[in-house]
Amino acid sequence: MTRKLLISLFLLSLGPFSHAAVYQWTDANGQTHFGDRPPAKASSKEVRVNAAPAQADATARDRQQKMTEFLDQQQKEREERQAKEAKARQQAEKQEELCRNLQARLKHLESVSTFYDINEKGEREYVSEEENQQIRDRFRAKVKETCGE
């Protein structure tokens, strides 16, 4: 679009320099004529013609305005879409990191032979095998729910 605008401005600036010569002459009947070439059988003089400044008509301005608005809207939508995609990528990366951490913890839990609690005296109290299995099962369910695995 910028290219078209630059070309248009360039052509408009050439207007005064690129006009062809205009000739005026009077024929045998006394009628005045104008042309871009002098007549062969009559005397003529070159006439300077001032061209009216080029103006875009209202329809062209309206089209230009609508096109500008359309392009602005497209740019805005593109930026919004890119922002949403960036946010989605960031959330996916966070989810992947969380899943890697949970899977590492699950692997560690499965390698531990037994779990224990610390009582009020600061002593270890080992849990039963059944409670060990429940802890592992709950954590596996959490990993499956969070990571879909």
With CA atoms as reference, report the closest residue to 49 among 13, 24, 14: 24
Summarised one tens digit per residue, pLDDT across range 80-125 is: 999 999 999 999 999 999 999 999 998 988 888 888 888 899 999 8
Cα–Cα distances in angstroms (integers) from residue 105 to residues 38, 42, 73, 100, in the given order? 98, 106, 48, 9
Cα–Cα distances in angstroms (integers) from residue 88 to residues 20, 74, 75, 80, 84, in the given order? 63, 21, 20, 12, 6
Asked if the model's pLDDT at residue 11 lies above 60, the reply is no
Work out the average pLDDT over 51-57: 68
Q: What is residue 93's predicted lDDT score, i.e. its pLDDT? A: 96
Secondary structure of residue 45 in the 3-state scheme: strand
Torsion of CA 87, 69, 5, 21, to 10 degrees: 170
User: How many helices (DSSP H) and strands (DSSP E) are in the chain?
Assistant: 3, 5
Block residue for tokens 């059944």? 130
The two three-digit tokens of residue 52, written as one number: 């009216």
Do 47 and 34 form a contact (C-beta atoms < 8 A)? Answer: yes
Per the model's pLDDT, the better-predicted residue between 43 and 70 turns out to be: 70
